[in-house]
Every structure is written in C-alpha cells, then in structure tokens.
Amino acid sequence: MKVKKFTRNLHRYLSIFVSIQLLLWTISGIYFAYNKIELVRGEQYRLPKNVEYRIFDRLGISIIETIEYGEKSYKTYPDGNLIKPLTKEEAIKITAQKTTLNPLEVSLITELYPGAEYRGSLPVYKVKTDTKDDINVYVGYMTGDIGSIRSDSWRIWDLMWSLHIMDYRERDNINNILLQILSILALVTSISGITLFFVKK
C-alpha cells in the first residue's frame, strides 16, 4: 500500500513539474504562431533600395551582380560584358572546388513543389554527390553560389520540424492556422491540468 501511495504521489508531483514546463512551451509557441518573424525583425520599416551591387568571383572571373528594382543582371567586372549561365560541367567543377564532396551528376531545376528540399531562387543546378547520406548540392545558375546542401540528416530534421510546427505541406510556415488553433487548445489543457493539481477533492 505504501509503494502504491508513493508511486501515486511521485506521478502527481512529476506531472505538475512537467505541466508547468509544457505551459511555458505552449505560451512561447503561441507567441511564435501569432507573430511573423519578419515583422518582429522590423523588416516592414526598411525602405527598398532602387539599385544594389555585389561583386564576386565565378571560376576565376570577377562578376558584378546588379539588382535594379528587383531585377538581377550579371556582367563581367570591370569590363561590363554580359555573361552566360553556368554549364552543367561548371556546376560540377564549382561543387568540387567549394565543398569537400565528390560530385557525380547534375540536373537543372526550374520549378519547385511544396515541401521541396530546396526552397531558394530558381533556376538552380542540383548536383548529386558520392555520399552515404545522399547529399545534394544546389549551385546558383548564374552566380555559382552554393545555395543549399541537403542530406538525409537534413531531410529527417525537416520532417521533424514540419511535425513540430504542424505545417505538413510547405514545412516552413510557423504561422499556420492549424498550429494557432492547437496551441490555444494546448494552453487550455495545460492550465486545466495545473488547476486540477491544486483543487482538493
């Protein structure tokens, strides 16, 4: 009987301890679900720049990227000659130069689907590599920048993240309606559980 009573009390006090932490997680989760990070960062107060420039190296050639009213163009620097997009062979060469991975084959990606492992600008080269973790390297079509590196480890993380934020399609939106509704229900559940602990029979 004493063991049973001890076990019941242990469960009761562990439950209140865990419930308080769950309440804190839920409250913070509600804040994240109802507040867009872009607005928190103050992005809404920035004035857009009419023209922006970036100079970088692409396989030994200096390139200047010009962003004018959202449109990008690329020329050699300082000559100002128009450049062509990278070839598949050049994408493989860049992958070998900028990573420790061994590139195998390359394909051009021109459209994205919801939940795709790459979620950046298009078009982009997808370079498969010789790894056990099935690593893909995404190389910028014009710039040669390494945009993303995706592996099985990242894909598992991405799946877990989508389950955590309840965005099963895009896997990025922490302000989705399902998460907002369930976070409120979780809050009510946590508060009611803590309340029952202190309510005497």
Residue 135 makes CB contacts below 8 A (sequence gap 6+) with 101, 129, 149, 150, 151
CB neighbourhood size of 91 (10 A): 25
Give the pLDDT of residue 62. Answer: 96
**What DSSP state is assigned to residue 168?**
-
Contact 87/70 with Cβ under 8 angstroms? no
Angle at 198 (CA atoms; ends 197, 199), nearest 5 degrees: 95
Question: Tokens representing 139?
Answer: 């190389």
Q: Which residue has the tokens 């970088």?
A: 56
Give the pLDDT of residue 78. Answer: 92
Digitized pLDDT (tens) for each residue of the chain, 201 residues in all:
677 777 777 777 777 788 888 888 888 888 988 988 888 889 889 888 889 999 999 999 999 999 988 889 999 999 999 999 999 999 999 999 999 999 999 999 999 888 899 999 999 999 999 998 999 999 999 999 999 999 999 999 999 999 988 898 888 888 889 888 888 888 888 888 778 777 765
First-to-last C-alpha distance (Å) of the chain: 20
Q: Which CATH architecture has domain 85-174?
A: Roll (3.10)
Give pLDDT tens digits for 41-81: 898 898 888 899 999 999 999 999 999 888 899 999 999 99
Domain ranges of the chain: 1-35+180-201, 47-83, 85-174
Give the pLDDT of residue 200. Answer: 61
Contact 172/114 with Cβ under 8 angstroms? no
What DSSP letter does each residue of 86-113 carry, written as one string? PPHHHHHHHHHHHSSS-EEEEEEE----
Question: Tokens representing 176?
Answer: 């989705």
Give the pLDDT of residue 100. Answer: 95
At residue 188, what are phi and psi to the nearest 5 degrees? -60, -40
